Every structure is written in structure tokens, then in C-alpha cells.
Amino acid sequence: MTRAYLDNAASTPIRDEVVKVITHTLKYSLGNPSSVQHSYGREARSILEESRICIAKNIKASPSEIIFTSGGTEANNLVLRSSVLDLGIRHIITSQLEHPSVLQTIIYLSVRYKISVDFISINEKGILDFNNMEEILKKNVYKKTLVSLMYANNEIGNLLEVDQVIFLCKKYNAYFHSDTIQVIGNIPINMEKLNFDFATASAHKFYGPKGIGFVFIRNNILKKIKPFITGGGQENGIRSGTENIHGIAGLSEALRLSCCNFASYIKKMQYLKSYCISELQKIIPNIIFNGLSSHPEKSIPSILNFLYPTKKDHLLYFHLDLMGVSVSKGSSCNSKKKRSHVIQSIITDRCLLNKTMPIRISFGIFNEKKDIDLLVKALQKIGK
């Protein structure tokens, strides 16, 4: 059966070049990077630090600001928990659109450590109200505050107006954490120009291996962070444990390859998205695109989210899968829920929600026009 994989926001296929790097590292790098007394350990250490340098170079950061983790969820947890425990954060500002690894961790911290939490108002397109954000910051100016907002939403693709957030954080002396998991490796990012205090990344979102990611922590903050995992003192003393050398090497190679080809990849993604929008409009009268996903200048090129009129409820995705089309209703971490918390946050019309199902299409560099054609044909069959 011909298949179309259109769930790249959940996980991307791994590149052949990355597989080669991982395989070579697994086969020939047998040393522990902390065992620098012999050549095997020093070789592993060299791979680790060269990878760190490569990653830092591609996001315009210092190598010492890169701390490796098991992925995006751990990276977000590290930032949020360390901010409360080590930086003395007593107030967190976020939105209802964040990833579960952010929202659930914030809820836990608010209960466990009596941290006050405010959610920025959003409209039906998922646009944040920055006047409301400033009101919240002003009201809590005497509390140590962390603002946690994702750069590109993983369900509706909205791009955050980061310059506005950075301006307000600086004005009110708040720390800024951005979940950049859909951004790093997919669009250019420059930490020299963006005044983020923390940012997070996961390799399997940009054609690298699963189970490896990193957190960016600004150097002036890094020295204040105590061990998140204790033991051997690896990763600047923050995350103990023998580093995943083959995963790190694969992450580094995946990021390097993406950064070398951003212009062509973004152009391709924009074409696929534009074509998909026009084809969907032909078969679905008055189609509703969620958030700003259909606005090319205000959303990430790889994500398109819309409401599909159907009575098949959650079986819609299985019907599409049987026809060879892989899509999702939103974040894979929310797959057990009937409705995405993001969609429920921006669509207040319950009647509309009951008559439709959200479909998230997320494009990747290996997708072609024929994948969209297969999706459209499958939707037409389901609609009959």
C-alpha cells in the first residue's frame, strides 16, 4: 500500500546520514567519556565535546550552555524544577497552549511548592494578549517570576512574538523559558540575538534519534543551577550519568545537516503547506483552519491544523490510517484524550467541536505533493 506519513511534529524519520554516524559510534566508540585516563575514554570524550561545539555553533550559543538530556520532556522539567528550587522562582506565567511536559510540571510545582501561576489570555486564534501579560507582570513585580511560552505551538503552529515577550521579561526582570522543540532544527534560531534564559530541543523533531535532546541555559544562570540528577557530575554537574554518546553524535549530525539546508527545506515546506490548504479548500466548504496555521507569516511552515466535519469521532484517524495516511489530532502526549487541550482552549463553540474532529498535518523534508493528494482522496472517501 502507498503510504503518506504526515505526522512529523510527533516524530520525524531519521536521516540515513545520521544512522551512519550513530552506527559508527556504537561500533567503534566503546569508551566511557568520563574515563579520560585511557585513549578509549578520551575518544568518547572527544565525540561528546565536538558534538556540543557543533550544536552550539548552529544555534549561536556557547558550548558550555548546552546540557544534554533524554529529550524535550526532561529538558522542560529540568528548566521548570530548577527555576523553582535553585533560582527561587515564586511565580510562573504561561498559557493554556503549552505542551503537557510544561503544563503538568507547572501544576505539580504550584501545589508542591506553593508557586502562584497565571495563564495569559488567548483569543480564538491562539494569539496571546500581551496587554494581559504585562498586567500580570506588573501585579507580581515583587515576586521572582518565570515566563514559560513555546516558540512554535506543536499543534496549531502559531509562532510566538518572541521580541515582545523578551521586551516585557526584561522590563519586569523576569526569566524567560521557551519550549523551542518544534523550532530548533526546523527554522533558524540565534541565541546571541534572542535573549532566552532557557530553551529546549529534541533530536527526533529534526530527523535525529529518539531519546536524546538538550537544554540551553544561559551562562550567567548556569552557575546558579544545582544538580538535577546527582551522581557522577556529568554535564556541568547538572545531569549526572554516562552520556548517550551515539545519541548525542546523531543529534549533532542531524542538526548540522538541517542548518546547512534551511533555505531549501523551508521553501519546500511552505509549498507543501500552501498546496495542502488549496486542495482542502476544494473539498471542504467553509473549512476552519485552527490557530494561525494557515497564515504562512505567523506560523511554522511544517504544521497545518483544521477541523474536519465528521460523525466518525475518534475513528477518523484509524480510517485514514487504513487508507495509508498517518496524521494526528494533536500532541502525541495527549493521544489518549478525545480532544486536545489546545483545541479546547481556542474553540469555545461546543456544538462545533461535537460536529468536527481536528486534524494536524505536519510536513517533513521527505514529504512530496503526492502525500497530500493521498490525504485529500482519503478524506473524500470518508466523507461519502
Q: What is the mean pLDDT of the chain?
A: 95
Quick one: which of 124, 146, 128, 127 has its CA closest to 137?
A: 146
Q: Using CA atoms, how far apart are residues 309 and 276, in angstroms rounded to an integer? A: 17
Q: Which residue in this structure is represented by grid cell 507580581?
A: 140
Closest CA to 148 of 123, 181, 112, 125: 181
Task: Find the DSSP H helices in the chain.
Answer: 16-28, 39-58, 72-86, 100-112, 130-139, 162-171, 219-222, 245-260, 262-283, 315-322, 341-346, 350-355, 369-383
The residue behind cell 550567567 is 220
pLDDT band at 230 (very low <50, low <70, confident <90, very high): very high
Active site (catalytic) residues: 333
Query: What pLDDT score does 354 carry?
Result: 85
Residue 311 has pLDDT above 70, yes or no: no
16-260: what fold? Aspartate Aminotransferase; domain 2 (3.40.640)
Residues 6 or more apart in contact with residue 235 via CB below 8 angstroms: 67, 68, 243
Spell out the alpha helix ranges (H) of 198-314: 219-222, 245-260, 262-283
Superfamily of domain 4-12+262-383: Aspartate Aminotransferase, domain 1 (3.90.1150.10)
* Average pLDDT of the segment spanning 158-180: 98
Q: Are 329 and 280 in contact (CB under 8 A)?
A: no
Rounded to two decimals, the pTM is 0.95
pLDDT of residue 335: 55
d(CA 362, CA 78): 27
Residue 78 contacts residue 238 (beta carbons within 8 Å)? yes
pLDDT attached to residue 383: 76
Residue 281 clears pLDDT 80, i.e. is over it = yes
Domain layout of the chain by residue ranges: 4-12+262-383, 16-260
Is residue 54 predicted with pLDDT exceeding 80? yes
